[in-house]
């Protein structure tokens, strides 16, 4: 049964009070699917450092061993190469279910596989949660709002999604994953949590994953033009990865199912983002306009009132502070040397 999680008070404000302060809690056994990816590997770092035992389940489609290699040899860390589309038998207390490509370039690469991962993969992890009585957290996405007609987006908004478009494998996949999560909760009593994550950036993003922040940073460092799609007036709200990880852990440890928007409300047009990248890396970086992709949402900005009120969470790292931390990681990975090519 899931019991230990209720004792986890290190940061979860909603569980504070369930255990006398100062009493040391027992480490949890936690699965992180997609734990070798960008967000997952940062989450694993936090879970390991607070004393939990972590099993990463990943098929390495977009994840990399390098992201978790620093935990090899730690008896509280285990890495399993496994595709969540296949059933999995484990005994654990919590499941953070992240496995799914997040970059549009990656998830459009094999759309059928993407939707299988979201539907069959989520079903399997919910089946696992049900069998062992584990608490299950789904990392859903702001994409469930589609091309939103409400701005900023509140959790009660049902979205404006094209069911037959090139992005549907991802956004309809995640919508179905949310449905499955709620049906296992209502029908089988599984303890669930749902996070709707808005655009997140930081160290360890795949350098060439096609997402806008990674593209602009890599392009500016390589002295290539920044590729702005469309007229560059579409907006996104960019969250630094440590803020997201804090939000995910608070959500898991708290008492509310959600869904919760986890994102930074600071909203930027793509042209404004290009300008911040120029200021941070190279003021002379050129901008090149390219045709936009199909069904690109025009604007996106989270209303985070619910997360503030119920999780006591809000992001702390603004874009101009977070970007330099990502830049130094990219600089090192692209050039293998911090000093090289400093603008």
100 belongs to the binding site for ligand UDP (CB under 6 A): no
The kind and range of the H/E element at 220 are: helix 212-221
Among 68, 270, 304, 323, binds ligand UDP (CB under 6 A): 270
Query: With CB under 6 A, what is the number of residues at the site for ligand UDP?
Result: 23
> Which residue matches tokens 């409400």?
150
| Residue 15 in tokens | 């569980």
227 belongs to the binding site for ligand UDP (CB under 6 A): yes
SS3 256: coil
Among 9, 15, 62, 237, binds ligand NAD (CB under 6 A): 62
124 belongs to the binding site for ligand UDP (CB under 6 A): yes
**10 Å Cβ neighbour count for 69?**
12
Our CB check for ligand NAD shows the closer of 12 and 302 to be 302
Active site residue 229: no
216 belongs to the binding site for ligand NAD (CB under 6 A): no
Among 199, 264, 278, 280, binds ligand UDP (CB under 6 A): 199
Which residue is catalytic, options 96, 107, 145, 170?
Answer: 170
Q: Angle CA(336)–CA(242)–CA(238) in degrees, nearest 5?
A: 90
As to burial, measured by CB atoms within 10 angstroms (0-12 exposed, 13-18 middle, 19+ buried), residue 103 is: buried
Span near ligand NAD by CB under 6 A; candidates 1-9, 17-25, 94-102, 280-288:
94-102
> Which DSSP string corresponds to 277-330?
HHHHT-TT--EEEEPPPTT--S---B--HHHHHHH-------HHHHHHHHHHHH
Among 9, 38, 134, 152, binds ligand NAD (CB under 6 A): 38
Among 40, 254, 259, 322, binds ligand NAD (CB under 6 A): 40
Q: Angle CA(17)–CA(49)–CA(322) in degrees, nearest 5?
A: 95
Least CB distance from residue 296 to ligand UDP, whole Å?
5
45 belongs to the binding site for ligand NAD (CB under 6 A): no
C-beta separation of 44 from 71 below 8 A: yes
1 belongs to the binding site for ligand UDP (CB under 6 A): no
Least CB distance from residue 3 to ligand UDP, whole Å?
19
Among 45, 52, 58, 172, binds ligand NAD (CB under 6 A): 58
Span near ligand UDP by CB under 6 A; candidates 28-36, 75-83, 84-92, 258-266:
84-92
The kind and range of the H/E element at 53 are: strand 53-58
Going by C-alpha positions, the residue among 98, 117, 152, 114 that lies closest to residue 261 is: 152
Among 31, 161, 205, 212, binds ligand UDP (CB under 6 A): 212
289 phi/psi in degrees, rounded to 5: -85, 140
Question: Of residues 149-208, which lie at the interface with ligand NAD (CB under 6 A)?
Answer: 197, 199-200
């Amino acid at each position: 049964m899931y019991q230990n999680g209720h004792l986890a008070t290190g940061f979860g404000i909603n569980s504070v009070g369930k255990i006398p302060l100062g009493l040391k809690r027992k480490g949890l056994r936690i699965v992180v699917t997609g734990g070798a990816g960008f967000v997952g590997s940062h989450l694993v770092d936090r879970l390991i450092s607070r004393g939990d035992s972590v099993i990463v389940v990943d098929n390495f489609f977009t994840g990399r061993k390098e992201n978790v290699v620093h935990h090899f040899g730690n008896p509280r860390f285990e890495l399993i190469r496994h595709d969540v589309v296949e059933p999995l038998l484990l005994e654990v207390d919590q499941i953070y279910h992240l496995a799914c490509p997040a970059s549009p370039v990656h998830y459009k690469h094999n759309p059928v596989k993407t939707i299988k991962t979201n539907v069959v993969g989520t079903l399997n992890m919910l089946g696992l949660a049900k069998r062992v009585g584990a608490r299950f957290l789904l990392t859903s996405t702001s994409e469930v709002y589609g091309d939103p007609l409400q701005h900023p987006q509140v959790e009660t908004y049902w979205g404006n999604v094209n069911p037959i478009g090139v992005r549907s494998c991802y956004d309809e996949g995640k919508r179905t994953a949310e449905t499955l999560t709620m049906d296992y909760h209502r029908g089988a009593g599984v303890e669930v949590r749902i996070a709707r994550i808005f655009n997140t950036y930081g160290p360890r993003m795949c350098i060439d994953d096609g997402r806008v922040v990674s593209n602009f940073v890599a392009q500016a460092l390589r002295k290539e033009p920044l590729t702005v799609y469309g007229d560059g007036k579409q907006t996104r709200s960019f969250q630094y990865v440590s803020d997201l990880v804090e939000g995910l852990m608070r959500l898991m440890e708290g008492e509310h199912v959600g869904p919760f928007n986890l994102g930074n409300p600071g909203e930027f047009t793509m042209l404004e983002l290009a300008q911040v990248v120029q200021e941070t890396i190279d003021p002379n970086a050129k901008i090149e306009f390219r045709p936009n992709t199909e069904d690109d949402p025009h604007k996106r900005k989270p209303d985070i009132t619910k997360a503030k009120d119920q999780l006591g969470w809000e992001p702390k790292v603004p874009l101009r502070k977070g970007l330099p931390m990502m830049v130094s990681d990219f600089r090192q990975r692209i050039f293998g040397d911090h000093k090289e090519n400093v603008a």
